[in-house]
Structure 1
Amino acid sequence: MADFRVIHKTKYSYDDFVAYCHNMAHMYPLTTTHQDCYRTHVTVNPKPVVSSFRRDYFGNQVFLFSVEDPHRFLEVVVESTVRTHQSFDFDLSKSTPWEHIYDLIHESALDADLQAIEFIQPSPFIPSKQLYSDFISNIFTNNKPVFQGALELTQYIFQNFQYDPKATNINTPLEQVLFERKGVCQDFSHLMIAALRSLKIPCRYVSGYLETLPPPGIQKLQGSDATHAWVSVYCPTFGWMDFDPTNGKMISEEYIITAIGRDYSDVSPLKGILFGGGKHKLKVEVDVLREQI
């Protein structure tokens, strides 16, 4: 168990005045079996004329706001208090063999199984192509328990792909990530999801935060953390389990969940429409601070 204070600052600076803007933010940590979110406070500058909270289709807490006064910058600060729980010990070899999952969830009358079906389908950033099933054919062999295979795939991506923030951007095709074997957490999560969905295994894209620690003797820099992404895989009876291909492991207490969807398009931290502004500069600072219990 661990307590965290998370501060997420986003600032846009524009070359010209923005007449008005409408925005949607996924920055509100969820309360799940993995964690409890006790408090979230949002500050927007300039002050919005209209703002509200709602739950989206996937159950995420979404903050909607509109700034209708002309402005040259927009700053959004979200501060949350979260307690995460230690992951339970589970024998991955006891999970269902991957070949049986598709038939099991289609024959089931359980809501959880039926809801998992949509996470097999292609989504905006994750196409359905044969090359993704070829990519994992040596991992998902006959009767491989699905969670065991997911962990092996997680470790394979970690060991064989290079983390390189300069290699990709939001519009980089997933095939390029596969062929060049470079990218960031978003790319590796999309790739893992594409591979698993090609085998008709339900999986979701998870966005959130990860506590990072500086080298021994070095003070942690303010704003040096970042948003993170990983993958949640479904198995009938056992439910969802989360894997981080960027770091080659299952998630643990240092992970904080903010939103869940089909891919990045469903959970972008901040997006919207604006009128005017010209070119802009974006600055993001994230602090994940462990509190004493």
Structure 2
Amino acid sequence: MKYAIRLKITYDYPSAVSDARHLLRVRPRDGGGQTLQSIDVAIAPRPGEHARETDFFGNGVDAIAFFAQQTELSVVMEAKVTVDRPPAPLDASPSLDAVADEALHGRSAEGASPIHHLGPSRRIAPLAALTAYVAETFETAKQPAGAAVMALTKRIRADFAYKPGSTSVGTTVAEAFAQKRGVCQDFSHVMIAGLRANGIPARYISGFLRTEPPKGQPRLEGADAMHAWVDAWLGNDIGWVGFDPTNGILAGNDHIVVAVGRDYSDALPIAGAFVTAGPQATDHFVDVVPIG
């Protein structure tokens, strides 16, 4: 499936901003079932510095800096991406114990290594009740690991309510698990924390969803903004597989990956620091249109 994607992020500063530096992670990744055919990132006002980089996890990063005062910021990303991501062979995956053992004995230190996605991170912390929730799901689902993780994905979809505005960007795993409602970021963090506590490597995925579904299929939750889901590592042979707990499905050809990391902090579409006074207003607009 080929898509035309447009992302627009705007900031309005009531008081002029100075000495601003940002890291943008808005470029769709090339690889892993995706082919990036064209890409353009327009930034206004024009940055005083602009460098293209690749971070530890393989994400494309635009590092920008502003030295003149500004009262607004606009980032527009337009891309064409082809996605061909066949369903993973979940029934052919190893047992949960085998996956956990392979992860612990891995020797790779690169960003995609499962060893970096087993323990706590900035937004992921163990929670006894959540660990038990996932262990119970795994016990009911039995083996293999892929089927067990899929059962957890569907259980989160059934047990948690998608309620935009009910949480904030700072909502913790414990808070999201307790209230059983939130948005894709919350559900992904809950699932990651539970998987890691049960020995399964898991990482956070930031990206896009197809805005309009194929004829006769329901619209997926989270398509109006940048979406988030989970990669679970299913052993050396299968590797990373995407699971979308917000919708209770595998991540397939409707999902376009932008950034990966241990949690949301590693995949922020825009991060940085600046000097100003008072509040700021921001808006995000996403459009993902099938074109072939």
TM-score (normalised: structure 1): 0.91
C-alpha distance 214-29 of structure 1, shift in aligned 2 (>3 A): closer
Q: Is the 8 A contact 1:12 1:282 kept in 2?
A: yes
Q: Which amino acid aligns with 2:167?
A: T
Partner SS state of residue 265, structure 1: helix
* 2:177 matched residue in structure 1: 178
Structure 1 unpaired stretches of 5+: none
Q: Is the 8 A contact 1:125 1:190 kept in 2?
A: yes
* 2:240 matched residue in structure 1: 240
C-alpha distance 83-277 of structure 1, shift in aligned 2 (>3 A): farther
C-alpha distance 166-89 of structure 1, shift in aligned 2 (>3 A): closer
* 1:151 matched residue in structure 2: 150
* 1:132 matched residue in structure 2: 130
* 1:256 matched residue in structure 2: 256
Whole-Å separation in 1 of the counterparts to 2:230 and 2:209: 14
Q: Structure 1: which 4+ aligned runs deviate by more than 4 Å?
A: 108-114
Q: CA RMSD in A?
A: 2.1
Whole-Å separation in 2 of the counterparts to 1:76 and 1:105: 38
Q: Is the 8 A contact 1:72 1:277 kept in 2?
A: no
Q: Which amino acid aligns with 1:128?
A: P
Query: Which whole-Å deviations, capped at 9, do the CAs of 1:29-58 have from their partners, x for residues lacking one?
Result: 001221111221111111111101111010
* More displaced stretch, 258-267 vs 94-103: 94-103
* 1:93 matched residue in structure 2: 91
TM-score (normalised: structure 2): 0.91
* More displaced stretch, 206-215 vs 279-288: 206-215
State yes or no: 1:120 paired with 2:129.
no
Whole-Å separation in 1 of the counterparts to 2:87 and 2:34: 13
Q: Which amino acid aligns with 2:132?
A: D
Whole-Å separation in 2 of the counterparts to 1:113 and 1:171: 25
Q: Is the 8 A contact 1:211 1:225 kept in 2?
A: no
Q: Which amino acid aligns with 1:65?
A: I
Whole-Å separation in 2 of the counterparts to 1:167 and 1:99: 36
* 1:231 matched residue in structure 2: 230
Partner SS state of residue 138, structure 2: coil
Whole-Å separation in 2 of the counterparts to 1:74 and 1:108: 43
Q: Which amino acid aligns with 1:99?
A: D
* 1:50 matched residue in structure 2: 49
Whole-Å separation in 2 of the counterparts to 1:19 and 1:111: 38
C-alpha distance 44-101 of structure 1, shift in aligned 2 (>3 A): same
* 1:267 matched residue in structure 2: 267
Whole-Å separation in 2 of the counterparts to 1:46 and 1:109: 45
C-alpha distance 229-114 of structure 1, shift in aligned 2 (>3 A): closer
Percent identical: 31
Deviation at 1:251, TM superposition (A): 1.1
Q: Which amino acid aligns with 1:243?
A: F
Partner SS state of residue 137, structure 2: coil
Deviation at 1:242, TM superposition (A): 0.5
C-alpha distance 95-51 of structure 1, shift in aligned 2 (>3 A): same
C-alpha distance 215-98 of structure 1, shift in aligned 2 (>3 A): closer
* 1:82 matched residue in structure 2: 81
Q: Is the 8 A contact 1:108 1:114 kept in 2?
A: no
